């Protein structure tokens, strides 16, 4: 991502990009700000002229479902009109993320990777410390192989369903343990990651889920999309 410096000099605004011999200057007279907040103007300027960067959205079936939803509502699947790669693998768990998969994701040396994984791990009733450690290890590997930044999403709630013929239903105790483990895992991730942790607190079960209680409805996907978009806008604008 190219570094952007903004200089406010008296009643003039000059914006200068200083990477790859690229220079962009815009001069705005103070009259523009008589009825316009300066911060609002800068926000609009950054959103419109934010320099080109590569974004990777990487994770389980939630990512693939979100990509399809985005394609319905816009002509392409780009975020902020930036190069965006959606890498969603149904059934993905931490243990299924191989080195070759990570190498493929980081091949383009992305400016930011949004990592959404762990939901399928929690459904297998894994211990929170194990799941959190695995997610943090994947993030570190992505950084080591060239990703400039990796943002990890909260592990959202889901219904526990048995898809195997050998079992009919999870017990109440297992459901309670799943909720407690997910909460603990998210707590660990939030503490370790700080600003690189993306909360999905607005996603509510069952309100924003489809009939299976695992994947989001159209409304839920919109919330998920705006959570990612707003996180990137806040941190990179």
Asked if 38 and 145 sit in the same domain, the reply is no
Among 122-136, 159-173, 199-213, which is the least confidently predicted range?
A: 159-173
Q: How confident is residue 18, by pLDDT bands cut at 50, 70 and 90?
A: very low
Residues 89 and 175 grouped into a single domain: yes
More confident residue, 215 or 22: 215
Q: What does the pLDDT look like over 152-161, one tens digit per residue? A: 999 999 998 7
pLDDT bracket for residue 139 (50, 70, 90): very high
CATH assignment of the domain containing 126: 3.40.50.1110
Quick one: 40 and 60 in the same domain? Answer: no
pLDDT at 172: 87
Q: What pLDDT, on a 0 to 100 scale, did the predictor assign at position 113?
A: 96
Give the structural domain span for 41.
4-49
Residue 22: per-residue pLDDT: 33
Name the nearest CA neighbour of 229 among 42, 77, 60: 77
Going from the C-alpha of 84 to that of each of 18, 75, 80, 97, the distances in angstroms are 23, 13, 9, 20
The structural domain count of the chain equals: 2
| Residue reference for tokens 């959205």 | 57
Query: Quick one: 26 and 121 in the same domain?
Result: no
> For position 163, what pLDDT does the model report?
57
**pLDDT for position 168:** 63
> What integer is the mean pLDDT of 144-159?
95
Judge if 43 and 58 occupy the same domain: no
Whether residues 27 and 84 share a domain: the answer is: no
Query: Do residues 44 and 63 share a domain?
Result: no
Q: What is the pLDDT of residue 126?
A: 74
pLDDT at position 44, please? 55
Single out the residue in 49, 68, 85 at which a domain terminates.
49
- Look at 59-68, 119-128, 163-172 and tell me which has the smallest mean pLDDT: 163-172
DSSP sequence for 56-82: EEEESHHHHHHHHHHHHHSSS--BTTB
Q: Could you tell me if 197 and 82 lie in one domain?
A: yes
Q: Grade residue 48 by pLDDT with cuts at 50, 70 and 90.
A: low
Q: Are residue 90 and residue 196 in the same domain, yes or no?
A: yes
Backbone angles phi, psi at 143, to 5 degrees: -65, -40
pLDDT tens-digit map of 183-223: 999 999 999 999 999 999 999 999 999 999 999 999 999 99
* Together in a domain, 45 and 105: no
Identify the DSSP state of 51. Answer: P
Both 91 and 182 in one domain: the answer is: yes
Asked if 43 and 70 sit in the same domain, the reply is: no
pLDDT tens-digit readout, 64-123: 999 999 988 887 888 877 889 999 999 999 999 998 899 989 998 999 999 999 999 987
């Amino acid at each position: 991502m190219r570094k952007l410096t903004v200089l406010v000099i008296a009643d003039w605004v000059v914006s200068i990009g200083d990477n790859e011999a690229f220079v962009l200057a815009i001069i705005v007279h103070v009259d523009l700000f008589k009825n316009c907040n300066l911060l609002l103007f800068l926000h609009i300027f950054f959103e419109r002229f934010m320099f080109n960067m590569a974004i990777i959205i990487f994770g389980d079936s939630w990512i693939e479902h979100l990509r399809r939803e985005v394609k319905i509502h816009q002509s392409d699947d780009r975020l902020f009109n930036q190069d965006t790669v959606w890498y969603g693998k149904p059934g993905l768990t931490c243990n299924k993320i191989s080195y070759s998969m990570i190498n493929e994701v980081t091949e383009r040396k992305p400016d930011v990777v949004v990592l959404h994984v762990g939901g399928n791990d929690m459904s297998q009733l894994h211990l929170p410390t194990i799941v959190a450690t695995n997610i943090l290890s994947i993030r570190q590997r992505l950084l080591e192989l060239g990703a400039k930044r990796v943002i990890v999403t909260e592990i959202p709630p889901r219904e526990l369903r048995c898809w195997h013929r050998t079992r009919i239903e999870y017990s109440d105790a297992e459901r309670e343990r799943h909720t407690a483990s997910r909460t603990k895992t998210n707590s660990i991730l939030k503490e370790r990651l700080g600003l690189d942790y993306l909360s999905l607190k607005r996603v509510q079960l069952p309100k924003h889920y489809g009939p299976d209680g695992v994947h989001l409805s159209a409304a839920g996907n919109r919330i998920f999309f705006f959570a990612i978009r707003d996180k990137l806008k806040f941190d990179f604008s």
